[in-house]
Amino acid sequence: MKKYIVLGILFILPITAYIFFAMSTNYFKPLPILTHSVAELDGFTDRDGTPVQLQNRITVLGFFGKNLEEHKAYAYNLAQKIYSKNHEFNEFQFVILLPNGAEEQARKLEQKLKQIAPTDAWFFAFGSEIDISRVFQSLNSNLILDSNLSTPYVFIIDKERSLRGRKDDEDAGVMYGFNSSNIAEINNKMSDDVKVLLAEYRRALKKYKANREI
C-alpha cells in the first residue's frame, strides 16, 4: 500500500506543478494602462546636457520642483525601496524633472544617492517650467503640482510612454501615482507594481526569442 502511495505522489506532483505553472502563464495580469501617450521629454537634459527620453525605457517619473532639499527624504525612500533593487535591469530608469537652475541641488543629492546604489540609471532632468507642467498634464491624473512644480507622487511609465497604475486599488480606487513620502506604499504597492511591469517585459522578450528560434 505504501508503495502505491509513493508512486502516486511521484506521478501526481509533476503534473500538479505543470498545471500550476501553465495557469500562471496563461492568466498573468499585466499592469493596467491608465493613460496613453504621455508627453515625451523634449527639451529636457541631464546635468551634462544629454537629452533624456521616456520612449523605449521603463521609467519611474518624479516631479520634485524648485526646492529639492524638501524632497530628499522622498528620494532616499525611492532609492532604497525601488531603485536599488531594479537599477540593473537594462531598460529601467528613474527620471526626476527639475526646473532649470536646480543643477547644483541635484548634484549634491546625487552624491548622497550614490551611497545607496550606483546612479547610472537615475537622471535629474532639467527643463523649463512650462515643459514640466506640459509633461505632468499629459499624465491625465487626479493629482496636481504645487506652486513649486513639485509633488511627492511618482509615476510608472512603460516603454511606449503609457502611464501604468491600478484601476481597483483597495484604498485609492484608481491609483495614478505612488506617494514617495509613504514608505509602506512604496515598499508594498509600488514595489509590487514595478515587479509586475518588469516581468511583463521579460515575458515578452522570452516569447520573442522563442519565436525567432522557431
Q: Which domains does the chain have, with CATH numbers?
A: 33-213 (3.40.30.10)
pLDDT band at 198 (very low <50, low <70, confident <90, very high): very high
Question: 47-60 pLDDT, tens per residue?
Answer: 999 999 999 999 99
User: How far is the C-alpha of 206 from the C-alpha of 151, rounded, in Å?
Assistant: 37
Question: 74-121 pLDDT, tens per residue?
Answer: 999 999 999 999 999 989 999 999 999 999 999 999 999 999 999 999
Say what percent of the chain tops pLDDT 90: 79
pTM of the predicted protein model = 0.84
Q: Are residues 123 and 46 in contact, defined by beta-carbon separation less than 8 angstroms? A: yes
Q: Which three cell numbers stand for residue 92?
A: 529601467
pLDDT of residue 129 exceeding 50: yes
Q: Phi first, then psi: what are they for 121, rounded to 5°?
A: -110, 15
pLDDT of residue 206 exceeding 70: no
pLDDT band at 25 (very low <50, low <70, confident <90, very high): very low
pLDDT of residue 18 exceeding 80: no
Q: Are residues 38 and 176 in contact, defined by beta-carbon separation less than 8 angstroms? A: no
The distance in angstroms from the start CA to the end CA of the chain is 46
Q: Which amino acid is at 201?
A: Y
> Alpha helices, DSSP H only, in 37-90?
72-78, 84-86
Closest alpha carbon to 156 in 24, 66, 57: 57
Q: Are residues 94 and 78 in contact, defined by beta-carbon separation less than 8 angstroms? A: yes
Question: 138-166 pLDDT, tens per residue?
Answer: 999 999 999 999 999 999 999 999 999 99
The pLDDT of residue 9 is 56
